[in-house]
């Protein structure tokens, strides 16, 4: 959270302004966030009260209708795939690249059918998915590519910051992301008319600028908009987010070098065009339980972060053979690399791992 002296006066002002709902501060936050992710115009950027809401709306405005298939990855936080179900879609699993946990374009191509309405890719842990190959596949199939960039604020692909590499790009602003508004989500839409559709759907299906009794709800909408309080937090956080991202990246690059060549440990490898945001630092290890215990004994927390989504009962109808997921999920583990990890901490982590487990 941004320094108290900076945040609290602005928060106090908005809380007692008489305008705590969605107002001009939300629009200002959308504009400033859009600048940060190099969106073409503020009209392309929508804020939401969560990343899950942003994804749900992205799927709806991408044209996903009940029964349509969405090709997606099981290696993600569950909301990625629950949003497909919220939209009435059917989850079709593509396999992942066991070198980094991201969706595998060859597998995506194999999973397309005439019922496929969208491809949903996740930048797992902040490593950009292979967006060039995925865009080509989506373009060839005439369907949109949706990028779940919840972990990837500030990541870059082909020299450009994450935000404009897919038809729809979602960011989560929940509690533990690079930029938090406590809860919130953003959607950058390539097409301005799609964004306008999303703006209506995020507020019950009504145009907020139209007179309330002159407006007709033609399509069911949702209570998904952001409010001025969260947007105020976001505006202040935005002034510090590059420092937060830079620290994640500095720690991540430190581990890229410090952990290279350790027997029994494999580093992630990624698309040459990708520059990760290092939201999490993932390694693949032999004898994972021993690795976890060794680090725990030295006061170092590790985590698996997410269950592979295909194992949840709610997705039972989508079960598939996923050898890449099997390989990755049996060996992967996340080690601390966020803004809270100091130079001493990261040296202690690397030294401990180098001793072996
Ligand atoms: C990859 C991924 N997708 C989607 C979400 C959902 O975002 P939110 O918690 O803001 O709804 C999250 C975070 O929780 C996430 O990590």
Same domain for 310 and 217: no
Closest atom of ligand 1 to 183 CA is 10
Residue 8 pLDDT greater than 90, yes or no: yes
**Average pLDDT rounded to a whole number, residues 126-132:** 98
Q: How far is the CA of 155 from the centre of ligand 1 (A)?
A: 16
pLDDT at 47: 98
Residue 60 pLDDT greater than 90, yes or no: yes
Same domain for 338 and 311: yes
Same domain for 278 and 182: no
d(CA 3, CA 38): 26
Same domain for 210 and 118: yes
Q: What is the DSSP string of 246-312?
A: HHHHHHHHHHHHHTTT-TTEEE----TTEE---SSEEEEESSHHHHHHHHHHTT---B--S--GGGS
Same domain for 207 and 339: no
Does the CB atom of residue 148 touch ligand 1 within 6 A?
yes
Same domain for 271 and 189: no
d(CA 52, CA 113): 26
Same domain for 172 and 128: yes
What CATH number is attached to the domain comprising 34?
3.40.640.10
**Average pLDDT rounded to a whole number, residues 342-353:** 98
The CA radius of gyration of the chain, in Å to the nearest whole number, is: 21
d(CA 264, CA 252): 19
**Average pLDDT rounded to a whole number, residues 209-222:** 92
Mutate to test the pocket of ligand 1, among 54, 55, 78, 150 (most ligand atoms within 8 A of CB): 150
Q: Which residues contact 204 (CB under 8 A, 6 or more apart)?
A: 217, 221, 222, 223
Same domain for 311 and 179: no
Domain boundary pick from 238, 264, 290: 238
Q: How far is the CA of 150 from the centre of ligand 1 (A)?
A: 6
Domain boundary pick from 238, 271, 303: 238
- Which of 283, 34, 70, 301 has the alpha carbon at shortest distance from 153? 34
- Which of 155, 157, 150 has the alpha carbon at shortest distance from 80? 150
Same domain for 282 and 231: no
pLDDT at 290: 98
**Residue 350 binned pLDDT confidence (cut-offs 50, 70, 90):** very high
Domain boundary pick from 183, 211, 238: 238
Residue 315: count other Cβ atoms within 10 Å of its Cβ: 20
Tally of domains in the chain: 2
Residue 14 pLDDT greater than 90, yes or no: yes
Closest atom of ligand 1 to 54 CA is 11
Q: How far is the CA of 116 from the centre of ligand 1 (A)?
A: 23
What CATH number is attached to the domain comprising 289?
3.90.1150.10
pLDDT at 254: 98
Return the percentage of the chain with pLDDT > 70, whole number.
100
**Residue 212 binned pLDDT confidence (cut-offs 50, 70, 90):** confident
d(CA 84, CA 21): 28
pLDDT at 302: 98
Range of the domain at 184: 4-238
Residue 109: count other Cβ atoms within 10 Å of its Cβ: 17
Q: Summarize pLDDT for 259-308 with one digit per residue, the tens.
A: 999 999 999 999 999 999 999 999 999 999 999 999 999 999 999 999 99
pLDDT at 214: 86
Same domain for 340 and 289: yes
**Average pLDDT rounded to a whole number, residues 314-319:** 97
**Which tokens go with 130?**
């292979």
Q: Say if CB 22 and CB 226 are below 8 A apart.
A: yes
Does the CB atom of residue 50 touch ligand 1 within 6 A?
yes
pLDDT at 239: 98
Same domain for 320 and 212: no
Mean pLDDT of the chain: 97
Does the CB atom of residue 51 touch ligand 1 within 6 A?
yes
d(CA 290, CA 357): 6
**Which tokens go with 119?**
């491809």
Q: How far is the CA of 141 from the centre of ligand 1 (A)?
A: 27
Q: Summarize pLDDT for 24-57 with one digit per residue, the tens.
A: 999 999 999 999 999 999 999 999 999 999 999 9
Same domain for 84 and 20: yes
**Residue 113 binned pLDDT confidence (cut-offs 50, 70, 90):** very high
Q: Summarize pLDDT for 320-332 with one digit per residue, the tens.
A: 999 999 999 999 9
Q: How far is the CA of 354 from the centre of ligand 1 (A)?
A: 33
Residue 186 pLDDT greater than 90, yes or no: yes
Alpha helices in the chain (DSSP H): 4-15, 24-36, 51-61, 78-86, 105-111, 131-141, 192-201, 228-238, 241-258, 288-297, 323-331, 343-354
Q: How far is the CA of 42 from the centre of ligand 1 (A)?
A: 23
Q: 201 in helix, strand or coil?
A: helix
């Amino acid at each position: 959270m941004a320094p108290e002296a900076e945040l609290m006066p602005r928060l106090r002002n908005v809380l007692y302004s008489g305008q705590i709902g969605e107002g001009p501060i939300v629009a200002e936050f959308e504009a400033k966030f859009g600048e940060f992710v190099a969106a073409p115009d503020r009209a392309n950027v929508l804020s939401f009260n969560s990343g899950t809401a942003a994804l749900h709306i992205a799927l709806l405005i991408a044209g996903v209708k009940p029964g349509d298939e969405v090709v997606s990855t099981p290696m993600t936080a569950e909301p990625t795939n629950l949003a497909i179900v919220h939209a009435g879609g059917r989850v079709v699993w593509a396999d992942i690249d066991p070198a980094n946990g991201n969706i595998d374009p060859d597998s995506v191509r194999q999973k397309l059918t005439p019922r496929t309405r969208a491809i949903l890719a996740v930048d797992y842990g902040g490593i950009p998915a292979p967006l060039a190959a995925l865009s080509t596949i989506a373009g060839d199939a005439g369907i949109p590519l949706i990028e779940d960039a919840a972990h990837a604020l500030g990541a870059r692909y082909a020299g450009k910051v994450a935000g404009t590499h897919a038809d729809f790009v979602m960011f989560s602003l929940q509690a533990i992301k690079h930029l938090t508004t406590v809860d919130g989500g953003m959607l950058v839409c390539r097409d301005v008319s799609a964004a306008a559709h999303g703006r209506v759907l995020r507020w019950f299906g009504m145009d907020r600028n139209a007179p309330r009794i002159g407006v007709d709800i033609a399509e069911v909408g949702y209570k998904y908009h952001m409010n001025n309080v969260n947007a105020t937090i976001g505006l202040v956080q935005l002034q510090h987010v590059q420092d937060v991202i830079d620290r994640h990246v500095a720690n991540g690059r430190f581990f890229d070098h410090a952990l290279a060549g350790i027997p029994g440990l494999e580093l992630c490898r990624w698309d040459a065009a990708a520059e990760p945001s290092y939201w999490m630092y993932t390694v693949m290890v032999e004898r994972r339980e021993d690795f976890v215990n060794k680090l725990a004994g030295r006061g170092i927390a590790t985590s698996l972060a997410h269950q592979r989504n295909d194992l949840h009962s709610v997705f039972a109808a989508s079960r598939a053979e996923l050898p890449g997921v099997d390989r990755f999920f049996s060996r992967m583990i996340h080690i601390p690399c966020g803004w809270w990890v100091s130079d001493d901490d990261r040296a202690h982590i690397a030294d401990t791992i180098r001793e072996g487990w």
